[in-house]
Structure 1
Amino acid sequence: MFDESAERAVIAAAVFDDSAVVDIASVITPGDFYVSAHRAIWQRVVQLHAAGTPIDAVTLGDAVRDDGHTVLAGQIALDAFTAANAASYARIVSDWSRRRAVVAACQQAIAGATSSEPGELIADLAGRIEAAGEQAIGESLDMHTVMTRLMGEIEQASQTGDDGLVGVRTRIPMIDGALGGLCPTRLIVLAARPSIGKTALSLQIAVNAARDGVPGGICSLEMGETELAARMNAYHAGANFTRLMRGRSDALDRMVSAWRSDQPGTWPLHLDVDTYGLAGIEARITSWKRRHGIRFAIVDHIGLVEVEGDKSPYDRVSLVSRRLKKLAKRLDIAIIAVAQLNRALEKERRKPTLADLRDSGNIEQDIDIGMFLHVDPDDMDAQPVPVQVGFLKNRTGRRGWQREALMFDGQCQTFREQAVGYGGPS
């Protein structure tokens, strides 16, 4: 399933006029060629162009000599194709490449049809087809366009008030002040040891945004929908989470009372608790963006995301973080990726560092913000629990551990600031 003439035409056009390489490379990559010899020859064409070496039958033939394609390169160089149509030839090659990707995705889905759950199978297939439809090469921008977009963002920030928040408000002043809200294209990692309150904090952020009318999505790989709903309602109503889950009347009364003024059923929040594969999660978030216009998504937690192949935990988490960052940029949304740190930190009685995040995969270079939570072991039994917050990576704001701790009421799944002006339930 390919067009041999178009593949040869692309190479011939570059030989005819090596300035065409730029136009072609903006449409396709070597991987788009079906014929392996064509792929190898095109890689040499790109290398010659990058080195500033003129491209003709002689230089190209010499470059592919070790690949064993000298004769074929010479034959292609003699093909009568014009460089004026180079981009059109490249689009033909690109179209066939994407067709093959769709076919491959369908074949893989068929192969797994008898061993996968239907919902997971559909989500995985949707993710693969979505990836196949993406352009391999991004948009080329001139400086006029870049500066126009920059001024648009600055103007938007100037109209938001004195706080200058341009992203989705979390209604937690410490976080909003450090991050400027949940800004589009940002990948934010929320990391801590188990049982520190990572999920509670992410849900509190989601509820606060939803109560402001901001649509968002939550992919939970650890909890079911009813537990998530109970945690959100415990925060919303200030009810005891455990008593709410056990149907105690006092907790139920508080929840029902809170519903009278703010009905959670109207919140623009969307949940997925059944998708575990990376491709499926990408497809789900993409679907939420297209159908509901979400402005943020939460993945809890990335250590449980499944990927294809026999990869080490380090490589698996690295792949997840890279793909989530690309997804945030492509959809123009903020993504919060919850990450679990090793319990060994508790024994060492120290605050986490970026190095602890590196142990969970090559995440540091992908993320825009690394937000860490820490509880001193001596404070674990306190009520509420003082939780220290550190912004150990922050591309656009202040970094370091914050002077004041957030107070976490685990019974009501609520983080509060010690300062006046906290935006959550009283």
Structure 2
Amino acid sequence: MIGGLLFDDRVATDVFAIVQPADFYHRAHREIFAQAMRLHAAGEPIDVVTLGDAARDDGHTTLVGEIAAEVYSAANVAAYARIVADWSRRRAVVTACRQAIDAAGRTDAGELIADLSARLESAGERAIGESLSWRDVLSRMVDEIERSSNAAEDGVIGVRTRIPMLDRALGGLCPQRLIVLAARPSIGKTALANQIAVNAARDGVPGGICSLEMGDAELSARAMAYHCKANLTRLLRGRDDALSAMIRGMEQDDPTPWPLHLDISTYSLTGIEARITSWKRNHGIRFAIVDHIGLVEVEGNVSTYDRVSLVSRRLKKLAKRLDIAILAVCQLNRGPERERRRPTLGDLRDSGNIEQDIDVGVFLHVDPDDLEDQPAPVQVGFLKNRTGRRGWERTPLMFDGQHQTLSERADYCDEDM
């Protein structure tokens, strides 16, 4: 295949669309091919002289000459490229299986399966993405605009959160978007994420929650406190009045059939990717919530900065690949508390490249003087929003911690009356 490139570099575009340097088994071939790609990107010809010179620092000039001497045609080079790519995927499958075998004696079975599933799926992916003609691009754009025009009058085209402020600003949880919900602890970010999930489930929209912080009992109790207007603290302590409120609420609107799925035991990034992929394949989920990304584990000894960067980047890719919305809950650093100010994008804890990866950044903030209020006024800021308005909302949401509910002020007053 490399010899075909040296014979006629007009086939380079076809080859580079199929094969990447990492697809080669031998390091020397990887390095030579990488130099060929650099020459092509720079608009330089690829032949035995230019490539031999480019490969000089790696010590492969003689090997380039030997490869060139063995090939007399560029015919069938695309077919050779597909063979190289196929064997690369086979090696990836073998590696994934060997790693699973090595880990089998010390890893939980569920996490082992999830990790292997994610690795096998990754091995099956192409090295590069889909190539579209401009005609295809325009057709997809028209289809998207048509879907938007057929949406409700309020312009919501994604999964409805049933919180007017969010739906107006975001158009709902739209597919292929990574949305970060960020706040300091105890401000209501998990309550808001759960409220969005419950509202979507009430509408019959399938979704999933990967909860790395809470168990299933606490998470479901919080959901029922919101759904049934039951006091969360009294519910968790088994008080009769709260249990009665929950029973009445469940009788009025049975939550049992909700298409909502929960994972509370997967912490690795590959496992979370596999779980969400499985939910999409088996249940057709339209959104997933990861709470929270600071607890997601990745392989290798990497810094917190690099770990969060890796998590945000792969969650964004996952949202695009599965065509779903992913809502990632994130903690802020202590800066806003110490300086008694609203948070900024830079306050994302150990943020890494998360600011670049996300499509939407929804920030919650409670003024220190209002922390003890019940309900507490929560200021909402859309500090990043690729397709909508940005800035802090004038009217706060009212956070009723007892009932795990965030409401717009008018809505809250109506309910209170």
The TM-score, its normalising length taken from structure 2, stands at 0.97
Q: Is the 8 A contact 1:390 1:401 kept in 2?
A: yes
Q: Counterparts in 2 of 1:193-232, with a 5 A limit?
A: 193-232=184-223
Matches within 5 A, 1:16-415: 16-80=7-71, 82-357=73-348, 359-415=350-406
Measured in 2, the distance between the counterparts of 1:339 and 1:29 equals 34
- Judged with a 3 Å threshold, the aligned counterparts in structure 2 of structure 1 residues 423 and 40 are, in CA distance, closer, same or farther, namely farther
Q: Distance in 2 between matches of 1:416 and 1:180?
A: 18
Q: Which amino acid is the alignment partner of residue 353 of structure 1?
A: T
Q: Which sits farther off after the overlay, 390-399 or 121-130?
A: 121-130
Tell me the alpha carbon deviations over residues 176-219 of structure 1, each in whole angstroms, 9 at most, x when there is no partner. 11101100110000000001011100000001011111100100
What RMSD, in angstroms, separates the aligned Cα atoms of the two structures?
1.8
Shift of 1:424: 9.8
Contact 1:171–1:422 (CA<8 Å) still a contact in 2? no
With over 3 angstroms needed to count, the CA separation of the structure-2 counterparts of 1:423 and 1:48, relative to structure 1, is farther
| Structure 2: 5+ residue stretches without partners | none
Unaligned residue ranges in structure 1 (runs of 5+): 1-9
- Cα separation, 2, equivalents of 1:206 and 1:50: 46
For 1:92 and 1:215, the matched residues in 2 are separated by: 40
- In structure 1, how many angstroms separate the alpha carbons of the residues matched to 2:188 and 2:263? 20
Q: Which moved more, 1:55-64 or 1:28-37?
A: 55-64
Q: Which SS does the other structure have where 2:327 is aligned? A: strand
Misfit runs of 4+, over 6 Å:
421-426
Bigger mean CA deviation after superposition, 197-206 or 60-69: 60-69
The CA deviation string for residues 266-305 of structure 1, in whole angstroms up to 9 with x for no partner, is 0000000000000000000000000011110000000000
- Give how far 1:102 is off: 1.4
**Cα offsets for 1:250-279 (capped at 9, x unmatched):** 111121112223221100000000000000
Shift of 1:348: 1.7
2:262 match: secondary structure? strand
**Residue 95 of structure 1, CA deviation:** 1.2
**1:331 is matched by which residue type in structure 2?**
L
Separation in structure 2 between the aligned mates of residue 354 and residue 338 of structure 1, nearest angstrom? 14
Q: Is the 8 A contact 1:194 1:343 kept in 2?
A: no
Contact 1:349 1:377 in 2 (8 A): yes
The alpha-carbon deviation at position 360 of structure 1 amounts to 2.7
- Separation in structure 1 between the aligned mates of residue 256 and residue 23 of structure 2, nearest angstrom: 46
What is the percent sequence identity of the aligned residues? 69
Per-residue CA deviation, residues 306-349 of structure 1 (Å, 9 max, x unaligned), is 01111111111111001100111111110011001123422221
SS in 1 for 2:157: coil
Distance 1:293 1:13 in 2: 44
CA–CA distance in structure 1, aligned partners of residues 415 and 160 of structure 2: 12
Asked if 2 retains the 8 angstrom alpha-carbon contact of 1:171 and 1:424, the reply is no
Deviations 1:345-376 (CA, angstroms, capped at 9, x unpaired): 22221111011127432210000001000000
CA displacement at 1:162 relative to structure 2: 1.4
Confirm or deny: 8 A CA contact 2:308 2:350 kept in the other structure. Answer: no
